[in-house]
Amino acid sequence: MTQPKFKIKKGDTVQVVTGKGKGQRGAIKRVFLDDGKVIIDNVNVVVRNVKPDYKHPQGSYKKELPIDISNVSLIDPSTNRPGKVGLKIDEAGKKVRYFKKTGTVL
């Protein structure tokens, strides 16, 4: 079985467009290709309670949970708004991502 292709990569700045964290922005920390989910910096943060030990002396810690890729959209740097992304081949013959509305290449 082949892995699905996504136009979002680690380090991209995205905005959550639907769900509990709607409107929040952050950089992608990790992409789970098999599940179609991403972990975004300081978005979808929950508190986990554990038995206190040397690692967690307070007995709790914060953790970022994954969000589905369909619920996030890349931020266009020229307009600072979320936009749709396409793929095209540039003059050098390399595949590049670009924003469909403005034509800005990532």
pLDDT in tens, 43-81: 999 999 999 999 999 999 999 999 999 999 999 999 999
- Does residue 47 lie within any of the structural domains? yes
3-state DSSP assignment of residue 105 = strand
Mean pLDDT of the 82-94 span: 92
> How far apart are alpha carbons 67 and 46 in whole angstroms?
13
- Does residue 60 lie within any of the structural domains? yes
- Does residue 98 lie within any of the structural domains? no
The pLDDT value given to residue 4: 75
Mean pLDDT of the 77-105 span: 92
What is the total count of domains within the chain?
1
The pLDDT value given to residue 1: 61
Residues of the domain holding 26:
13-77
**Among 40, 37, 35, 39, CA closest to 3:** 35
Q: For residue 54, give the CATH number of its domain.
A: 2.30.30.30
Chain segment 15-34, per-residue pLDDT in tens? 999 998 899 999 999 999 98
Which token pair is 19? 């769900």
The pLDDT value given to residue 3: 72
Q: Are 67 and 43 in contact (CB under 8 A)?
A: yes
| pTM for the predicted model, two decimal places | 0.83
The CB density around residue 44, as the number of other CB atoms within 10 Å, is 19
Which token pair is 29? 């920390």
Fill in the amino acid letter for 83.
Answer: G
